[in-house]
Amino acid sequence: ETGVTQSPTHLIKTRGQQVTLRCSSQSGHNTVSWYQQALGQGPQFIFQYYREEENGRGNFPPRFSGLQFPNYSSELNVNALELDDSALYLCASSLVVDGANVLTFGAGSRLTVL
């Protein structure tokens, strides 16, 4: 089975710009979650998509948005980039079974905002 793949692996943007990060889910998974991991911290939940709809969101402003496509791949969009948006962005796919959400992570996209 294929794992979770993310692109790009690294990118550099300037403050105020917009960025799109992409994620392909593991085969058979129908749910995608996005996490932000700042340097030296644990991953922070941004949002989750199930059946192409957002079904949960963490404490992130509306300039963080996402999409899930019919093939369960996903995008994370961040508008009006700020310096504090510099982080590793992790995508995780899952198949919720009996209420249990077990995440399979990609290697992440490292975003640097200058």
What residue ranges bind other proteins (CB under 8 A)?
4, 31, 33, 35, 40-45, 48, 50, 55-56, 58, 90, 92, 99-108
Report the distance separating Cα 13 and Cα 111, nearest Å. 7
> 73 or 101: whose CB is closer to other proteins?
101
Report the distance separating Cα 107 and Cα 114, nearest Å. 22
In the complex, the smallest distance separating the C-beta of residue 57 from other proteins, rounded to whole angstroms, is 9
In the complex, the smallest distance separating the C-beta of residue 19 from other proteins, rounded to whole angstroms, is 19
> 4 or 111: whose CB is closer to other proteins?
4
Q: What SS3 state is found at 83? A: helix
Can you say whether the dihedral through the CA atoms of 51, 53, 57, 60 is positive or negative?
positive
